Structure formats: structure tokens, C-alpha cells
């Protein structure tokens, strides 16, 4: 019996109804939670890769007949605060008995066993054969596999109902780990669907964007033996923004109270400051607020913070122009902290900053005036000079804690980006500023600093808005941009 070809629609729109953002496995994965799409059933086997100067981000879609067992923890327990940036209050339907995820494995990560890429050719399966091989852990191919008939198709075609959009990232200097991961995904998908690896490779296409799409083109093509298509970086960012804003509980911003608690900790009588933890209880007005409109709010400014920073103006029709940027971005923070602290990864650096007190390193307004400078609207806790205390009185540099250095530099880079973003928003008369890029990582202090900078320099007329998958806009854009066929031929049934 010949194998039936799975149809590819001429134009496919991803159905985001009922979308659920899954819970993270650890703080390091808070910006890379999967998105379960229960109503998206069209076949797609594209893998998108956005290769930047520091990180390579991967996005792909896998089939799963059953809903994942780990929805957002906050979706079940109703939490909404800065410590749960990664799992805020959700309005999406979820299973009633969530299973809390186990800690992630050490890199390179293993392929998630939650589904498989759908090949263009799928061999019919006998129940006996499927049961004997047990290829899908007894849950991915079962009675939930449905058959659907199209008016133009004589034979029925099997589809996997629903599935998950998956997100992974790798350090660009270890690009071979990324390739090994994709290779394992392709091999597992061939096994799951019981097709040959050659047939699976014919179905898979790599949609590459970012600077590395050119630098590593031959490496991906020759190592994976699949088609590789290069996509425009800025165009993919905008497409990614337009898609991700359709997902419930994706777009958020900080309340005024939460911004203030991070930006201006209370001063003690001895001159030190009280370190405030983000609120753990209360209404959403105490912490994280979510956009109710599931659509991109255009026109806007998109500030993408990767190794460097690109600032992109987007008009009402989605047309875009890169209008500014700065070389002082995530790579700057990563590089300086690597020199000045024992931290070896960006997540370790963020963890250090969470325990730090920047007032031990930075010179504050209160250090100069002894109080607020109310006439200029400057609170005593505002930073007057980054690292201003380091040289003061010839202090031994070894007396400065890595935690304090980390927080100071995090504030410095974030404040600088926020100020540049605000000036561009003023120049182009844009009130909404989206922040994206792997620099943010759902980190409360970073978000609060960027938010405060926008509010301060715009005198409260503009708002900083954030995305839970902020680091994957380019990869999402490359994926969604190529859902429709790559050529103009009519689909062949």
C-alpha cells in the first residue's frame, strides 16, 4: 500500500484559541516555556533557528493528542506577582491536576518527549505495530488520533490533534550542541511516526535568521542534511511580535507599586537600604498586569536587547524601520560580569544580582545631598554615579561583593537602554514600547529598571511592555512566516 501524503494548506493560520503557556522547569527556563495550542492541527515540520552573537534560539512544533500535564502553576493557584513573572495569572483552560515539572537535565538537553514533528508522509499504523513498539510512551499515538475528511480528498488523512510550540536556546559558541539537539529531534520524530530518517529529512526545513543564519548556513545544511532557508532578521522580529501578542497572558507590564518597590527601596536610619522582596500576595494591581487585547498594539517601538540593542519603529500597518540602537547590551553585561565576578553563565549573573545591594558600589543622590533633591524630582535612592563609590577613599577592590557589582552593572545597562528607548519614543511620538531579547529573561529587577526609566524620562506618558517569550521573537517570526508553502504552486493532494 502506498503511503498517503499529508496535505499542506495554501495558507495556514495558527489557531491560538485556548492557548496555554506551560510552567517552567527552573528559573533558567522562565522565558522558554512551551505554548500548548489545542486547536492547531495543520501539518508543519519547520524548525526555526535564530542565531545571535551570544545565543541560538530554536522554535518548533510537536504533535500531542493529550494536553501536557504541566500548565502554568499560577493558572491553577491564582498567583500574580513579580516572583511569579514566569507563571502569572492565566485565563486559559487547563487540566485539573497539574504535575509539577522535574528539574531540567544538564546541557545539551535531551529532546522533549511530548510529541513529534509531523512528516509530509505518514505511514498508516496498525494498532498491533504501534503497541509492540511503544514508541510514544503509550500516549502520543492512541485512540485520540482522529481522522478527518476534506471535500477535495478521496482518502482520509490522519492528523495529530493539538500540540505544543517548543522553545530551546544554546550558547552560540556551542552551536554544535544546537545541531545535535535538532538532529536528535529529527531522528526521534522519524521513529515516532515510523518513517525512515531519509523521509523525515525531506519533510524538515530549517528556517534560519539572525547573523548566524549566514555564518553557520553550510554547517546546518551539511550536518543535518535538510533544506536551510535564510530569513531577514528584522522582518522575523516583527512577525514574531505580531504572533506572540495573540497568546493569552503573554504581554504584561509592572504596576506602579511594583516598579517603585524595586527602584526605590526604603532607607534606614543608618543610611543603609532595606532590600524589598516582590509581593507574594494580593491583587494583580500589586504586581503584574496583563494586556487584555490579544493583538499587537500598533504603532509601537520594539527594543530588542540581545548582545547589542536594536530599536525598531513599527507603524500601524506593521511596516518597520530600524531607527536606533546601542552596542551596550546583554553582551556588555555578560562580558563585564565575567571579568569582575566568578559567575560563568548569564543566569548565574542574574542570580548574583538578586542578592546584591548596588548602594554599596554606586553613589546615590542621598550620598551627595544627604536627602532627596526634591526640586529636580530626584529621590535620595536614585543612582547619581554608577560605580561611584569604588574609587572613593582608595578602597580595596576586593571588598566589593560580586553580588553588589552584578546589581550595579545590571542597573547601569538597563537604565541606559531605557533612556535611549524613551528618547526614540519621544522622537517618533510613540507611547507603547515593547521590550524583547534574551537580556531580560523575565528578571524582575531588569523589568522594573527598564519600566522606571521609561516612566521617569517620559514623565509618565509612556509605558514599557514585556513579553514572556521575549528572547524568541526572531525564531517565532521565522517559524510563523513560513507556515504557508515556500513556492506558489497549488498544493497537490
User: In this model, does residue 112 exceed pLDDT 70?
Assistant: no
pTM of the model: 0.77
Comparing 11-15, 106-110, 312-316, 381-385, the range with the smallest average pLDDT is 106-110
**CATH C-level class of 12-69+160-250+469-486:** alpha beta
**Residues 444-458: pLDDT tens digits?**
889 999 999 999 899
Q: What is the pLDDT of residue 156?
A: 28
How is residue 136 written as a grid cell? 510514544
pLDDT band at 312 (very low <50, low <70, confident <90, very high): very high
The Cα–Cα gap between 339 and 337 comes to 5
**Residues 17-45: pLDDT tens digits?**
888 888 765 656 667 888 988 888 777 78
Q: According to CATH, where is 3.30.420.40 located in the chain?
A: 251-264+287-361+400-467
Q: What is the pLDDT of residue 17?
A: 85
Other CB atoms within 10 Å distance of the CB of residue 423:
14
- For range 280-291, the mean pLDDT: 58
Task: Specify which residues 378 forms β-bridges with.
Answer: 373
DSSP calls for 439-471: TTTT-HHHHHHHHHHHHHHTTTS-EEEEETTGG
Q: What is the pLDDT of residue 28?
A: 61
Q: What is the pLDDT of residue 341?
A: 93
User: In this model, does residue 437 exceed pLDDT 50?
Assistant: yes
User: In this model, does residue 331 exceed pLDDT 50?
Assistant: yes
Q: According to CATH, where is 3.30.420.510 located in the chain?
A: 12-69+160-250+469-486
**Residues 47-59: pLDDT tens digits?**
999 999 889 999 9
Percent of all residues in the chain with a pLDDT value above 70, rounded to a whole number: 68
- For range 193-205, the mean pLDDT: 90
From the candidate CATH numbers 3.20.20.100, 3.40.50.720, 3.40.1280.10, 3.30.420.40, the one assigned to the domain spanning 251-264+287-361+400-467: 3.30.420.40
User: In this model, does residue 489 exceed pLDDT 50?
Assistant: no
Q: What is the pLDDT of residue 260?
A: 78
The Cα–Cα gap between 34 and 141 comes to 20
**Residues 375-409: pLDDT tens digits?**
676 788 888 899 998 887 556 666 789 999 999 99
- Give the residue among 33, 2, 35, 32 at the shortest CA–CA distance from 19: 35
400 CB-side CA count, 13 A: 23
Percent of all residues in the chain with a pLDDT value above 90, rounded to a whole number: 42
Sign of CA dihedral 110, 304, 86, 61: negative
**Cβ-proximal residues to 384 (8 Å cutoff; 6+ apart), any chain:** 362, 363, 364, 365, 367, 368
User: In this model, does residue 244 exceed pLDDT 90?
Assistant: yes
Contacts 24+ apart (CB under 8 A), 487-490: 490/10
Amino acid at each position: 500500500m502506498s503511503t498517503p501524503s499529508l496535505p499542506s494548506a495554501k495558507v495556514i493560520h495558527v489557531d491560538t484559541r485556548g492557548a496555554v503557556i506551560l510552567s517552567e522547569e527552573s528559573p533558567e527556563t522562565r522565558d522558554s516555556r512551551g505554548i500548548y495550542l489545542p486547536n492547531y492541527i495543520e501539518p508543519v515540520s519547520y524548525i526555526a533557528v535564530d542565531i545571535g552573537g551570544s545565543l541560538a534560539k530554536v522554535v518548533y512544533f510537536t504533535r500531542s493528542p493529550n494536553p501536557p500535564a504541566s500548565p502554568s502553576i499560577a493558572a491553577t493557584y491564582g498567583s500574580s506577582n513579580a516572583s511569579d513573572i514566569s507563571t502569572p495569572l492565566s485565563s486559559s483552560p487547563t487540566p485539573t491536576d497539574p504535575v509539577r515539572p522535574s528539574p531540567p537535565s544538564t546541557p545539551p538537553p535531551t529532546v522533549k518527549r511530548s510529541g513529534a514533528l509531523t512528516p509530509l508522509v505518514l505511514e498508516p499504523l496498525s494498532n498491533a505495530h504501534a503497541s509492540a513498539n511503544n514508541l510514544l510512551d503509550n500516549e502520543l499515538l492512541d485512540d485520540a488520533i482522529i481522522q478527518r475528511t476534506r471535500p477535495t480528498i478521496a482518502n482520509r488523512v490522519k492528523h495529530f490533534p493539538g500540540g505544543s510550540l517548543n522553545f530551546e536556546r544554546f550558547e552560540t559558541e556551542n552551536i554544535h550542541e544546537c545541531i545535535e539537539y535538532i538532529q536528535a529531534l529529527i531522528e526521534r520524530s522519524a521513529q515516532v511516526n515510523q518513517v525512515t530518517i531519509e523521509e523525515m529529512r525531506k519533510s524538515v526545513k530549517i528556517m534560519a535568521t539572525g547573523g548566524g543564519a549566514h555564518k553557520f548556513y553550510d554547517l546546518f545544511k551539511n550536518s543535518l542534511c535538510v533544506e536551510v532557508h535564510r530569513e531577514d532578521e528584522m522582518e522575523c522580529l516583527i512577525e514574531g511580535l505580531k504572533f506572540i501578542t495573540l497568546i493569552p497572558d503573554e504581554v504584561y507590564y509592572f504596576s506602579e507599586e511594583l516598579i517603585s518597590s524595586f527602584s526605590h527601596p526604603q532607607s534606614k536610619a543608618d543610611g543603609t537600604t532595606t532590600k524589598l522582596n516582590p509581593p507574594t500576595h494580593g491583587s494583580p494591581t500589586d504586581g503584574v498586569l496583563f494586556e487584555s487585547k490579544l493583538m499587537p498594539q500598533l504603532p509601537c517601538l520594539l527594543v530588542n536587547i540581545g548582545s547589542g540593542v536594536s530599536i525598531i519603529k513599527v507603524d500601524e500597518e506593521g511596516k518597520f524601520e530600524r531607527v536606533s540602537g546601542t552596542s551596550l547590551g546583554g553582551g556588555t553585561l555578560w562580558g563585564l560580569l565575567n571579568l569582575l565576578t566568578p559567575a560563568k553563565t548569564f543566569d548565574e549573573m542574574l542570580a548574583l544580582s538578586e542578592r546584591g545591594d548596588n548602594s554599596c558600589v554606586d553613589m546615590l543622590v542621598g550620598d551627595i545631598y544627604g536627602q532627596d533633591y526634591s526640586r529636580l524630582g530626584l529621590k535620595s535612592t536614585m543612582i547619581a554615579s554608577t560605580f561611584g563609590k569604588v574609587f572613593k577613599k582608595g578602597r580595596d577592590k576586593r571588598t566589593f561583593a560580586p553580588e553588589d557589582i552584578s546589581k550595579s552593572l545590571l542597573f547601569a545597562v538597563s537604565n541606559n537602554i531605557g533612556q535611549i528607548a524613551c528618547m526614540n519614543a519621544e522622537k517618533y511620538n510613540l507611547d507603547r514600547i515593547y521590550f524583547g531579547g534574551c537580556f531580560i529573561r523575565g528578571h524582575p529587577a531588569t523589568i522594573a529598571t527598564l519600566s522606571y526609566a521609561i516612566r521617569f524620562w517620559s514623565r509618565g506618558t509612556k509605558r514599557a511592555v514585556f513579553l514572556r517569550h521575549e528572547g524568541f521573537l526572531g525564531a517565532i517570526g521565522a517559524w510563523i512566516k513560513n507556515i504557508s508553502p515556500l513556492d506558489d504552486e497549488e498544493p497537490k493532494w
